[in-house]
Chains A and B, each alone.
Chain A
Amino acid sequence: MSASGTLVRLNAADIVVRLSAFDTVVYLIYIAAAACFVLGLHLMNSPVTARRGNQLSAAGMIAAIAATFAQLIHHHATITATGWIVVLAGIVVGSAAGLYSARTVKMTAMPQLVSLFNAVGGGAAAIVAINDFVKLATAPGSPSVAGTVAVATALDVLIGAVTFTGSLIAAGKLQGVVSGAPISYPGSRVVNALLAVVMVGAAVWLMTGTGNIAVLVVLLLAACGFGVTMVLPIGGADMPVVISLLNAFTGTAVAMAGFVINNPVLITAGALVGASGSILTKLMADAMNRSIPAIIIGGFGTGDTAGGAAIGAGAGVRTVDADDAAIQLAYAQKVIIVPGYGLAAAQAQNEVQTLAELLEAKGVDVTYAIHPVAGRMPGHMNVLLAEANVPYSQLKEMDEINPDFPRADVALVIGANDVTNPAARRPGNLISGMPILDVDHAKAIIVVKRSMGHGYAGLDNELYYDPKTTMYFADAKRALTEMAAAVKTLVG
Chain B
Amino acid sequence: MSESLLSDITIFVLSLLVGFEVISKVPSMLHTPLMSAANSIHGIVLAGAMLIALTANNALGYVLAFVASAFAAANVMGGYVVTGRMLKMFRKRPELPDAAAPAPSAVGNGQVSASSQVTGGSKS
Contacts and interface: CB of A to CB of B under 8 A. Distances in A.
Interface of A: 4-5, 8, 11-14, 30, 33-34, 37-38, 40-42, 44-47, 50-59, 61-62, 64-65, 67-69, 71-72, 75, 78-80, 82-84, 86-87, 89-95, 97-99, 101-105, 107, 110, 113-114, 117-118, 120-121, 123-125, 127-128, 130-131, 134-135, 148, 243-244, 247, 250-251, 254-255, 257-259, 261-280, 283, 357, 370, 372, 375, 377-380, 382-383, 386-387, 389-393, 395, 397-398
Nearest to A397: B28
Given A33-B44, A127-B71, A244 B33 contact: no
* Size bracket, chain B contacts: 35 or more
Interface of B: 1-5, 7-8, 11-13, 15-20, 22-57, 60-94, 97, 103-104, 106-109, 112-113, 115-116, 118-119
A87 B94 contact: no
Contacts of A67: 47
Nearest to A391: B93
- Most chain B Cβ neighbours within 10 Å, of A131, A251, A265, A391: A131
Contacts, number: 436
A271 B64 contact: no
Given A271-B15, A274-B19, 10 more contacts: A13-B3, A33-B44, A79-B54, A80-B56, A101-B82, A114-B39, A118-B39, A251-B38, A272-B19, A387-B89
Nearest to A41: B22
Given A45-B26, A90-B66, A94-B70, A273 B38 contact: yes
A60 to B, nearest CB: 9
Given A57-B40, A83-B53, A383 B32 contact: yes
A392 B35 contact: no
Contacts of B93: 391, 393
Contact of B30 (A50, A68, A125, A257): A50
A392 B92 contact: yes
A47 B85 CA distance: 13
A91 B16 CA distance: 29
A372 B34 CA distance: 14
Given A274-B16, A380-B32, A383-B89, A68 B50 contact: yes
17 contacts: A38-B18, A42-B25, A47-B29, A62-B108, A79-B53, A89-B69, A89-B70, A91-B69, A97-B78, A99-B115, A114-B32, A125-B42, A243-B35, A270-B45, A271-B13, A275-B17, A392-B91
B41 to A, nearest CB: 5
A84 B37 contact: no
A83 B49 contact: no
The list of the 4 closest CB pairs from A to B, nearest first, reads A275-B19, A90-B69, A379-B31, A98-B78
| Chain B interface, >50% SS class | helix
Given A68-B47, A110-B32, A269-B44, A38 B22 contact: yes
A91 B29 contact: no
Nearest to B44: A269
A224 to B, nearest CB: 14
Contacts of A387: 89
Given A117-B74, A247-B39, A377-B35, A397 B27 contact: yes
Nearest to A244: B35
Given A13-B2, A98-B73, A275-B19, A128 B39 contact: no
Given A51-B84, A78-B54, A86-B62, A386 B72 contact: no
Contact of A257 (B24, B45, B74, B82): B45
A387 B93 CA distance: 12
B119 to A, nearest CB: 5
Contact of B42 (A13, A269, A280): A269
A357 B17 CA distance: 43
A87 B66 contact: yes
B67 A127 contact: yes
B31 A8 contact: no
